[in-house]
Amino acid sequence: MQAVTTHAMALSRRHFLKTGAMGGMLLVTGSAAALLTGCAQAQPATGYVYLREAELTVLRAVIPSVLAGTLPEGKARPAALDKALASLDQLLANSSVAVGDQIHQLFALLSMAPTRIAMAGVWSDWPDASPEDIEAFLLRWRDSRLELLRGAYLGLCKIINVAWYLLPESYAAVGYSAPVRTI
Amino acid sequence: MTIQVGAIPDPIRAGIAGGWKVIHTGELTQNTTVECDVVIVGTGAGGGTAAEILTQAGLKVVMLEEGPLRSSDDFKMREDEAFRDLYQEGAARTTGDGSMTILQGRAVGGSTTVNWTSSFRTPPQTLKHWRDVHGVKGISDAEMAPWFDRAEKRQQIGPWPVPPNENNDIIRQGCEKLGWSWQSIPRNVSGCWNLGMCGVGCPTNAKQSMLVTTIPAALNAGATLYHRARVRELIMDGDKVRGVLVDGMPEVGLQPTGKILMVRARHVVLAGGAINTPAILLRSKVPNPHDQIGLRTMIHPVNASFAQFDRKVEGWGGAPQSVYSDHFQWKDGATGPMGFKIEVIPMQPGFVAGLLGNHGLDHARDMQSLGHLNGMIALLRDGFTEDSLGGRTSIRKDGSAVLDYDVSSSLADGLRRSFLAMAEIQLAAGARSVRPFQLAGGSFTTLAAAKSAINGFTIEKFRTGIGSAHLMGGCAMGEDAKTSVVNSRGEFHGLANLSVLDGSIFPTSIGANPQLSIYGLVAKLATGLAERLLPTGAPKPEALTRVG
């Protein structure tokens, strides 16, 4: 386990160093977050291959904002959210050790209260964050002058958007009809 | 209306039933050693072409492929399955800092199993640049022409007579309005159904990929194929290579099974493609006195412009790429401001969803109008100017490959000019609005507004959406070992029996989708290799006399 964490830190260090002094500060908090959360919750959540329990907590809060306007609401939402999470889990489980480490590290930053507050500007725990809080967090990252935060915004939105639109459940809303094999 | 694809004969399953030597490396129950004349690492455009030629020359060939074996019966036209099974890193590969998306195949047939079938000869300007600037020998237009002829015949490459889908036709319409040049794209298909599913594995075997042409031919001629075979490193012995060490990989999953395959060979051919081939060399600690391995990795950096039309576009159906414009490709010569090719992308929802660079209601609106969305891309021709050195492929501590690629000032300039050109084409073709893939860059209904905004863009990583589906270079060809990795015959400088036969030997990008460049060049180099490997005085096999 230690090897994996160290590896993730080495990767992030290489990346963070490029982002200058501000990045250097984030490196310290980021690595601490990776260390603190990395080992304790290194196991995938029950029923998942890649995603960990703390990551599911972040995603259950963030996904409805990223997929606003398309994720079903009301009674249908929990099942749709589970589908999105399962699709995302598969996407990341089948990527690579390097990609997987980078994404775990992003979630480590979002999971820890100090880094969540400092970097995402979200004061409450994820389950208590309002849609407005989460939208503000996404815009803060998108419009940041820090390469690191813009990259995190793009990465987070990309994996959630792709995971959802890989699902046949998403096709009707986009008017897509895939050819089908009849054998 | 849903298009149905019924039962189609699957040539791979038939071949296996007929006794082909095809082995799942992840299912080996013990460490295994095999011997052959030539081991070929990779089964894409380079490895597939080399395998057919070397096998038919009478050599005993073993093909190794890290990806799985999938064939037409498996191709269910589902993006999720294709991403998982057929692409490097589950289609989530990026440059080291995550700033650029990399689409590269990883299955038997390599990227040819998932590419969009665009087939261009290497432009004469590119070949001339390689001769003049990189000292590559034997690649005059006259010397290359018979090899392109051969490859076009072999992969059934020719003009595509079917009208383009609307997504592609928008290039034609816009260019005609503007008086800009455009052309149809030759494709490597036979009996194509025009489904538009090239990127997720051709379900009808119409695409003449390595999977249905050269690999079956090599297997018919007695070659052996190991799939889910990840090459750890070369087996070194002084100035010779004795073979390769391979980790068996499970059908699904990222960790090796623990069973090792050792392939001993007289000659080793690396054809894992850019990124993977230089990584194998670096992992193997081959001589690298001038630190050239992995340098000059070229990607045809791609930016995108999305446009909304009132009319239906439905770019998920029909040949994904059938029209292009080279209006801005060579207009300032090979070494002027960076040229670019304009094409479109297929518009399947999972793929497009990852390219819009937004979230929430903006993203949902874009996706809900996907059927009216045109997705245009520009492919920048990197590697020709002095400040365009491409990227660098290296290995991480765990040995995995990583590409670092920075935005040079000539690239930034090219990206801005191509944003402008794409917006102009889309608006000329009647787009209601255009939206360049630039973070929070806005969408525009008039050319004046688009121009003003694009001219003000800060072109930089994590702000400008940049990706690549064309990985080239990293083991550049040339005669001077100080500035190249292999010679003009594809032989590794400094090791007697190691060749590189894939797109990683290109010293620059191509300036066109690269598959036919790989087919033509590798056919030439592999034929030369076969002649050198056959016993002196042996009769020349018929397979080697067809060309030249």
Residue A15: the pLDDT is 45
pLDDT at B146 over 60: yes
**What's the confidence (pLDDT) of residue A35?**
53
Asked, for residue A176, whether it belongs to a domain, the answer is: no
Mutate to test the interface with B, among A90, A145, A181 (most CBs of B within 10 A): A181
Cβ atoms of residues B408 and B388 within 8 Å = yes
| Contact between residue B196 and residue B3 where contact means Cβ atoms under 8 Å apart | no
Question: Cβ–Cβ of B371/A158 closer than 8 Å?
Answer: no
d(Cα B47, Cα B213) in Å, to the nearest integer?
Answer: 12
Chain A closest-CA separation from residue B182 CA (Å): 29
| DSSP symbols for B86-123 | HBGGGGT-B-TTS-EEE--B-STTGGGGTS--B--PPP
Interface test with A, best of B86, B356, B367 (most A CBs within 10 A): B367
For residue A140, what are the domain limits? 2-170
CATH number attached to the domain at B162-187+300-393+406-469: 3.30.410
Q: Answer yes or no: are the C-beta atoms of A161 and B361 closer than 8 Å.
A: no
Question: Residue A146: left (phi > 0), alpha (psi -120 to 50), or beta?
Answer: beta
- Give me the mean pLDDT over the A82-89 stretch: 98
- Judge whether A183 lies within some domain: no
Residues contacting B55, CB < 8 A, separation 6+: B61, B217, B218, B221, B222, B223
**What pLDDT shows up at residue A22?**
44
Taking the CB of residue A17, how many other CB atoms lie within 10 A of it?
A: 11
In a domain, A138, yes or no: yes
The pLDDT-based confidence of A8 (bands split at 50, 70, 90) is very low
The C-alpha atoms of residue B245 and residue B283 are separated, in whole angstroms, by 11
Q: Decide if pLDDT at B335 tops 70.
A: yes
Q: Is B30 helix (H, G, I), strand (E, B) or coil?
A: coil
CB B4 within 8 A of CB B199: no
Rg (CA), chain A: 17
pTM of the model: 0.94
pLDDT of residue A4: 37
Residues of A in contact with B247 (CB under 8 A): none
**Would you say residue A177 lies in a domain?**
no
pLDDT band at residue B547 using 50, 70 and 90 as cut-offs? low
Query: With contact defined as beta carbons under 8 Å apart, do B374 and A177 qualify?
Result: no
- Is residue A62 domain-resident? yes
CA distance A101 to chain B (A): 12
Q: Which of residues 5-24 of A touch B (CB under 8 A)?
A: 7, 10-11, 14-15, 18
Match 């020359």 to its residue by tokens: B57
Q: What percent of chain B has pLDDT over 90?
A: 95
Question: Which letter, b or e, does each residue of B243-269 get, where b requires 16 or more Cβ atoms within 10 Å of its Cβ?
Answer: bbbbbbbeeeebebbebbbebebbbbb
> From CA A165, how far away is CA A171, in angstroms rounded?
7
Q: A136 at the B interface (CB within 8 A)?
A: no
Look at B371 and A161 and tell me if their CB atoms are within 8 Å.
no
DSSP of B347-401 = --HHHHHTTS---HHHHHHHHHTGGGEEEEEEEE-TTSSTT---BEEEE-TTS-E
* Residue B63: pLDDT over 90: yes
Q: How far is CA B240 from the centre of its chain?
A: 30
Q: Say whether B422 sits in a helix, a strand or coil.
A: helix
Contacts of B97 in chain A (CB under 8 A): 15, 18, 151
Q: Using CA atoms, how far apart are residues B281 and B294, in angstroms rounded to an integer?
A: 9
Counting residues of chain B whose pLDDT is more than 70, the rounded percentage is: 98
Say if the Cβ atoms of A179 and B73 lie within 8 Å. Answer: no
Q: Which of A29-43, B164-178, B317-331, B422-436 has the least mean pLDDT?
A: A29-43
Contact (Cβ atoms closer than 8 angstroms) between residue B10 and residue B216: no
- Per-residue model confidence (pLDDT) at position B338: 98
The answer to whether residue A180 is domain-embedded is no
pLDDT in tens, B158-194: 999 999 999 999 999 999 999 999 999 999 999 999 9
Residues of chain B with CATH 3.30.410: 162-187+300-393+406-469
Chain A residues close to B13, C-beta within 8 Å: none
DSSP B163: P
* B343, containing H or E segment: strand B340-344
Answer whether residue B421 shows pLDDT above 80.
Answer: yes
B149-153 mean pLDDT: 98
Q: Say whether pLDDT at A40 is over 90.
A: no
Taking a contact as any Cβ pair under 8 Å apart, which residues of chain B between 338 and 397 contact chain A? 348-350, 352-354, 356-361, 363-365, 367-368, 370-371, 396-397
Instruction: Quick: pLDDT tens for B228-239.
Output: 999 999 999 999
Q: How many domains does chain A have?
A: 1
Residues 6+ apart with CB under 8 A from B123: B329, B330, B510, B511, B512
Q: Is the pLDDT of residue A33 over 60?
A: no
Lowest mean pLDDT among A57-66, A169-178, B175-184, B284-293: A169-178
Kindly tell me if the per-residue pLDDT of B101 is higher than 80: yes
Of B466-470, B481-485, B534-538, the one with minimum mean pLDDT is B534-538
Q: Is residue A179 situated within a structural domain? A: no
pLDDT tens track for B247-260: 999 999 999 999 99
Give the C-alpha separation, B182 to B169, whole Å.
10
- Does the structure show a pLDDT above 80 at A2? no
- What is the rounded distance in angstroms from the CA atom of residue A98 to the CA atom of residue A43? 17
B165 CB neighbour count, 10 Å cutoff? 24
Distance between start and end Cα atoms, chain A? 45
Question: Which residues 87-106 of B are in CB contact (within 8 Å) with A?
Answer: 88-90, 92-94, 96-99
Q: Answer yes or no: is pLDDT of B217 > 70.
A: yes
- Judging by beta carbons within 10 Å of its beta carbon (0-12, 13-18, 19+), is residue B233 exposed, middle or buried? middle
Give domain status of residue A175, yes or no.
no
Nearest chain B Cα distance for residue A21, angstroms = 17
Structure confidence at residue A126 as a pLDDT band (50, 70, 90): very high
Q: Examine the pLDDT at B531 and tell me if it is beyond 50.
A: yes
If you search the block for the tokens 């894939």, which residue do you land on?
B502
- Report the run of H or E that residue B126 belongs to, with start and end: helix B124-134
CATH class of B20-69+107-115+120-154+209-294+475-548: alpha beta
Percent of chain A having pLDDT more than 70? 77
Residue B17 CB-density burial (10 A; 0-12 exposed, 13-18 middle, 19+ buried): exposed
pLDDT at B370: 98
Interface-testing mutation among A162, A167, A171, A180, with chain B (most B C-beta atoms within 10 A): A162
Note the pLDDT of residue B1: 59
**For residues B302-323, average pLDDT:** 98
Give the model's pLDDT for residue A42: 84
User: What 3-state class would DSSP assign to B402?
Assistant: strand
For chain B, where do the domains classified as CATH 3.50.50.60 start and end?
Answer: 20-69+107-115+120-154+209-294+475-548
Per-window interface: A 53-112 vs B, CB < 8 A = 65-70, 87, 90-100, 102
B6, B89, B96: residue with CB nearest A95: B89
The pLDDT assigned to B122 comes to 98
- Structure token pair of residue A62: 């963030």
Three-state SS letters, chain A: CHHHHHHHHHHHHHHHHCCHHHHHHHHHHHHHHHHHHHCCCCCECCCCCCCEHHHHHHHHHHHHHHCCCCCCCHHHHHHHHHHHHHHHHHHHHCCCHHHHHHHHHHHHHHHCHHHHHHHHCCCCCHHHCCHHHHHHHHHHHHCCCCHHHHHHHHHHHHHHHHHHHCCHHHHHHHCCCCCEECC
B 160-189 residues with CB < 8 A to A: none
Q: How far apart are CA B501 and CA B498, in angstroms?
A: 10
CB contact under 8 A, A180 and B2: yes
- The predicted structure's pLDDT at residue A7: 41
Check whether B214 has a pLDDT greater than 50.
yes
> What confidence tens digit (pLDDT) does each residue in B38-57 have?
999 999 999 999 999 999 99
